[in-house]
Amino acid sequence: MLHPQSAIRNPQSAIPIGVFDSGVGGLSVARELMRQAPAQPIIYLADQAHAPYGQRSLAEIRALSKAVTGFLLREGARIIVVACNTASAAALRSLRDSFPEVPFVGMEPAIKPAAEHTRTGHVGVIATEATFQGELFASLIDRFATGITVHTQTCPALVPLVEAGEVRSERTRTALQGYLAPLLDAGIDELVLGCTHYPFLRPLIEQVVGAGVEIVDPAPAVARQTVRVLAARGWLAEGNQAAAHRFYTSSNPDRFRSALEELVGLDVEVERVVWYGADVSRSPSVPPR
């Protein structure tokens, strides 16, 4: 059983936050964590070998999420942020069952604030098919969208475009225009970003939807919840000195390093991890930390 401790004052002894996504999208959450808890180290794994998760079965996503969580825990993480809407919808409950002593913070489409702020009574949500299929999304609609019409739109091209670094391209703008047109025609005035990749497209999205539509990004709220969990357990590192973070990918480290610099402004080393059957680990030549 985990017990609250005093606040951590030495950044070198700070408890790392494990963060994972199928790719670069979770960096939108990591960026908020760095802003709200700068002294807390992050261990980030981008499972780009299996990206995008949104095109996989729920069973596959659960198996991948369990293996990635195990890796992050072995690397020293004590709290896990599932910085992927698809993985949160498909696997968060099973992860909590598999790792009962580990606190998890997951993503969920921000239906509640959108429903509270809408003036037209029409809210749009863009996400993956797996996010919409999960029990979590249906529960959010039941709890928070009474009397509100929620319009959903899957956007299968967006995650690959963000992974490819096309966050400002005309091809991405064209894709957004096609996906968002039905929502705009329906009269939405709130647009929920239901995938962690989408905040990196926010400038283009704002141009497409115009000033009359408020964009709702859940990443800041997820970071605040993570900080609350850390504080409640006495794990929150004090101070404003930036922590040392570690980044891993199951695909091309150079490509992910370029994305880190482009999307988050970090120029750091990225290490590749390897899948062995149903497990993921660092290279055998590199000892565990």
| 95-107 pLDDT, tens digit each | 999 999 999 999 9
| 46-95 pLDDT, tens digit each | 999 999 998 899 999 999 999 999 999 999 999 999 999 999 999 999 99
DSSP label at residue 224: H
Residues of the chain with CATH 3.40.50.1860: 11-107+220-282, 111-217
Closest CA to 230 of 13, 4, 9: 4
Pairwise CA distance, residues 114 & 119, whole Å: 10
pTM of the model: 0.90
Residue 195 catalytic? yes
Contact 238, 252 (CB under 8 A): no
| 124-152 pLDDT, tens digit each | 999 988 889 878 899 999 999 999 999 99
Contact 15, 78 (CB under 8 A): yes
In this structure, what token pair is assigned to residue 158?
Answer: 């967006």
CATH topology of domain 111-217: Rossmann fold (3.40.50)
| 79-88 pLDDT, tens digit each | 999 999 999 9
Of these residues, 8, 29, 84, 125, which one is catalytic? 84
C-alpha distances in angstroms, 195 versus 28, 74, 131, 200? 10, 27, 9, 10
Q: Assign domain 11-107+220-282 to a CATH class.
A: alpha beta
Residue 84 catalytic? yes
C-alpha distances in angstroms, 170 versus 153, 176, 202, 288? 20, 10, 14, 43
Pairwise CA distance, residues 121 & 123, whole Å: 7
| 174-214 pLDDT, tens digit each | 999 999 999 999 999 999 999 999 999 999 999 999 999 99
Question: Residue 110's pLDDT is what?
Answer: 95
Question: Residue 284's pLDDT is what?
Answer: 60
Of these residues, 195, 204, 205, 280, which one is catalytic? 195
Question: Is the pLDDT higher at 285 or at 77?
Answer: 77
Helix/strand number for the chain, H first, E second: 11, 11
| 163-172 pLDDT, tens digit each | 999 999 999 9
